């Protein structure tokens, strides 16, 4: 099963200059809770924005850049793939929930195949240079939870989960 997980502002911005446009610790904790013990899939720029490999998650890196092949060849926590087709073969394993975590081109490439959408909606406007691409199809809201604003989380936000509607569920 394939899921997307991301946070966006009211303009659908998801990135700015290779980083998140906001600081929202509750969203980072939510990301960790949802993805822990699940494989995560990302593009090169998303991967390079991290401080390193995230614990207790297998990383799939989709990139045309060959430099990561040798660097991670002996690392059991990382698999480097070089095409959407190669990644698609890995996703045929229905026994696992795979999370695509970014960037925008990877979200767009798998928008027709995604089953679940985990989105943090931040009710604020930020400078951004990357927007979440549209996702075709019908999705139903499974749950929503309003986040708490506090001294660390300065913006109103809400966690939402959507499931793709199939013809049987309509």
- CATH 3.40.50.1000 correct for 2-138: no
| Euclidean distance between CA atoms 38 and 96, whole angstroms | 7
Predicted TM-score (pTM) of the model is 0.94
Q: Which of 64, 58, 94 is nearest to 79 (CA)?
A: 58
**Dihedral pair phi/psi, residue 163, rounded to 5°:** -120, 135
Is pLDDT of 90 > 90? no
Q: Which residue has the higher pLDDT, 166 or 152?
A: 152
pLDDT number for residue 166: 83
Q: What is the pLDDT of residues 19-67, one digit of tens each?
A: 999 999 999 999 999 999 999 999 999 999 999 999 999 999 999 888 8
User: CA neighbours within 13 Å on the CB side: how many for 1?
Assistant: 10
């Amino acid at each position: 099963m394939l899921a997307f997980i991301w946070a966006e502002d009211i303009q659908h911005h998801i990135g700015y200059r290779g980083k998140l446009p906001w600081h929202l610790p509750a969203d980072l904790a939510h990301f960790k809770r949802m993805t822990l013990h699940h494989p995560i899939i990302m593009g090169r720029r998303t991967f390079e924005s991290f401080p390193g490999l995230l614990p207790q998650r297998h990383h799939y890196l989709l990139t045309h850049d060959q430099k990561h092949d040798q660097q991670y060849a002996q690392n059991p926590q990382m698999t480097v793939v070089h095409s959407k087709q190669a990644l698609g073969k890995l996703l045929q394993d229905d026994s696992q929930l795979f999370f695509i975590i970014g960037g925008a081109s990877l979200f767009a490439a798998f928008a027709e195949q995604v089953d679940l959408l985990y989105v943090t909606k931040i009710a604020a406007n930020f400078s951004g240079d990357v927007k979440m691409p549209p996702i075709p199809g019908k999705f139903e809201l499974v749950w929503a939870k309003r986040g708490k604003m506090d001294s660390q989380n300065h913006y109103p936000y809400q966690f939402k989960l959507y499931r793709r509607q199939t013809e049987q569920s309509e």
